[in-house]
Amino acid sequence: MKKIKYLVALVLTVALAFSFALPMSAATPDKDFVDVSHWNNEGGLPLSFYQTIKAGGYKAAVVKVSDASNYLDPTASVNIANAHAAGLKVHAYHFARLTSTEDAKAEAEWFAACLNNVGFKSSYGMAVADVELATASKANLTSYTNTFLQTMRDKGYHVDLYTGSSFYKSRLDPDKLSVKDPWLARYNNGSAEPAWHNGKKGAWQWTSSEQINGRNFDVSQDFAGKYTAGASSSVGQIKSISLVNYLKSKGQPWSYSAREKLAKQYGITDYRGTAAQNLALVAKLKAGIKPAKQPVIKQRNPSQYLSKNTKKISTKRTAYLYRSTNFSGKYRVAKFKRNTVFTITGNKLSSTGLLRFKTKSGLYITANKDYVKVYSVVKKATKKIVKKPYIVKKGDSLWKIAQAKKTTVNKLKSINKLHSDLIFPGQKLKY
């Protein structure tokens, strides 16, 4: 028995010593907030989902709102309303495609207009720039990012930067960024944090596969408190009432078309009458949030496109006609060779801000100068017939010559500078 006790003690001692010899693995990071933007096929997530994660300990949700300077996420309005109604801190992000200072300002203007349209208030949370594309040199992309962030600050928003840990160090200059403790993504099963710049920690997105209600979500830990500070501990509730009944109780139109129109005013462009969409609208109406103007899509790269007033074009190379301003393969009708002429009856911007011409057939063709040009008729040069002078013969008179050349005596005298009717044989006269 003593021998067995000794062996057990020896094993425990060795095991303990071995455990101290091994590098300690990091504890599982906190599940502070969740990115809900990858579930867009249902028109937005329902209030019940947000109530569930709030009750489960999450303090905040981050919602994608816009992209570039022409895309508004149709689920943003629903996700923001339902997350806020559930008592979560709500933050919004914009996927940036920055190529110049002017472009950075334009994207910030678009982001702000979209935030206004979907009912996001600056008091809700952070307005985040998602910078993941190497669209410029390190120095320039850093400058463009700062321009975007400052434009949003000038509009009264609290701002932050989201990007990958590797991208942050290799494609941006942390020392020159106006955000010093950003939100970084680094996935390693929650066992290794990003290499923070100068030891300053912001927020860490440590997994993209956290299971919530049977779905995978991106989950982050908030070190700096930007995303979770001030979060309430209680789960928000909305009294159970349908959108139809709520509208009826307020004496407002409640038909499907009326609800669809109302949804569009709040940035819900794909209204289908889902529970998530209806509850979001109820939450907005109860909170007294007023509809805002829809962001206007501006034409992208106007210098690369023909004028909207163009009436006739010819193709510079093979080009296609489409049934929609969306030039995807399923809408393609036919292709046409170089120098094919089309009459233009109108124009329309695509959903991404690209100019399309409407042809006489009702189909659409590109207005890109690389493919088409303004049609112009090439006029053939006509030879100017030079009249040979008339040589006066014996017996001629000005009257006789005028009759033969179908002119008048006075014209003959004028162009030949004659002061009388006197002429002589061999004289050359213009007519």
pLDDT digits (tens, 9 = 90+) for 280-300: 999 889 888 888 877 877 787
Query: Mean pLDDT throughout 400-415?
Result: 89
**Strand-pair partners of 343:** 312
Which two tokens mark 119? 């009912």
The 3-state DSSP class for residue 164 equals strand
Res. 237 pLDDT band, cuts 50 70 90: confident
Q: Which amino acid is at 333?
A: V
Res. 55 pLDDT band, cuts 50 70 90: very high
Res. 380 pLDDT band, cuts 50 70 90: low
Q: What is the pLDDT of residues 62-81, one digit of tens each?
A: 999 999 888 899 899 999 99
Residues 404, 395: Cα–Cα separation, whole Å: 14
The 3-state DSSP class for residue 108 equals helix
> What percentage of the chain exceeds 90 in pLDDT?
60
Burial class (CB in 10 A: 0-12, 13-18, 19+), 189: exposed
Question: What phi and psi values does residue 366 have, to the nearest 5 degrees?
Answer: -65, 155
Residues 9, 71: Cα–Cα separation, whole Å: 66
Residues 7, 229: Cα–Cα separation, whole Å: 52
Residues 120, 245: Cα–Cα separation, whole Å: 25
**Residue 174 confidence (pLDDT):** 97
Yes or no: say if 252 and 246 are a contact pair by the CB < 8 Å rule. Answer: no
Which two tokens mark 66? 């816009």
Rounded mean pLDDT of the chain?
Answer: 88
- Please state which of the ranges 185-189, 296-300, 380-384 shows the lowest mean pLDDT: 380-384
Question: What phi and psi values does residue 335 have, to the nearest 5 degrees?
Answer: -110, 155
Res. 214 pLDDT band, cuts 50 70 90: confident
Question: What phi and psi values does residue 221 have, to the nearest 5 degrees?
Answer: -105, 135
Q: What is the pTM of this model?
A: 0.70
**Residue 23 confidence (pLDDT):** 39
E strands of 119-250, at which residues? 126-130, 158-164, 183-185, 203-212, 215-222
Burial class (CB in 10 A: 0-12, 13-18, 19+), 193: middle
List the one residue out of 111, 81, 74 whose CA is nearest residue 96.
111
Yes or no: say if 315 and 339 are a contact pair by the CB < 8 Å rule. Answer: yes
